[in-house]
Chain A
Amino acid sequence: DAKTTQPNSMESNEEEPVHLPCNHSTISGTDYIHWYRQLPSQGPEYVIHGLTSNVNNRMASLAIAEDRKSSTLILHRATLRDAAVYYCILRANGNKLVFGAGTILRVKS
């Protein structure tokens, strides 16, 4: 499974944008980049995914580097409810979904 590297933790102020980085230098051409987040004592929640182009949805934006070796999840205005562990995962067809350590995001009011 292709590996991802994320910072252990990040901190943000409420109402400010947050940029969560992910490095995946061994990504293959058909791997999709997925982001999920997990709140305490809950199952993970899908956030966004993409292949090459930047993606936007109601929750976040995903910026993918041109060489695809890194990506950034962007929360445009962090709220207290965005405090969670964010996981960046590479997924290929038919392959399992393997979680790394993720980034703990803390949001300060």
Chain B
Amino acid sequence: GAVVSQHPSRVICKSGTSVKIECRSLDFQATTMFWYRQFPKQSLMLMATSNEGSKATYEQGVEKDKFLINHASLTLSTLTVTSAHPEDSSFYICSASSGLSNTEAFFGQGTRLTVV
């Protein structure tokens, strides 16, 4: 299957700083990317959907000014957590897809964010 590379895999940052997470589709063009967060022992919660060249669509309750998503190319999407707080500590996962229902989505390995 296709490879989606997510970087960094782990990051620790101080409260109030911003953190950028990159998601790269290495061997196919991802017209659609999804960003999720996952708390311990819970399922993945969809944060936003981004289509290349368009503004991201955020799920209800997700602050778009806090979680900035950029999908400038077919192979790269970034999630920036601005002014991070300890409650933002979580496992963040990206997914790359063609957007078609009959094709699989591919996931990054996740980023463990700890805000201290």
Residues on A facing B (Cβ under 8 Å): 30-32, 34, 36, 38, 41-46, 49, 51, 85, 87, 91-102
Q: Number of B residues contacting the other chain (C-beta, 8 Å)?
A: 27
Report the nearest B residue to A32, measured CB to CB.
B101
**Total A-B pairs in contact (CB under 8 Å)?**
63
Instruction: Tell me the nearest residue of chain A to B102, going by C-beta.
Output: A32
B34, B44, B100: residue with the most chain A Cβ atoms closer than 10 Å: B44
Q: Is A44 in contact with B101, judged by CB distance below 8 angstroms? A: no
Majority SS of interface residues in chain B?
Answer: strand
Query: Once the chains are docked, how many angstroms separate the CA of A35 from the CA of B104?
Result: 9
Judge whether B67 is part of the interface by a CB distance below 8 angstroms: no
CB pair A51–B44 under 8 Å, yes or no, is: no
Q: Contact between A91 and B101 (Cβ–Cβ < 8 Å)? A: yes
> Which residue of A30, A44, A95 contacts B44 across the interface (Cβ within 8 Å)?
A44
Contact yes or no, B107 A43, CB < 8 A: yes
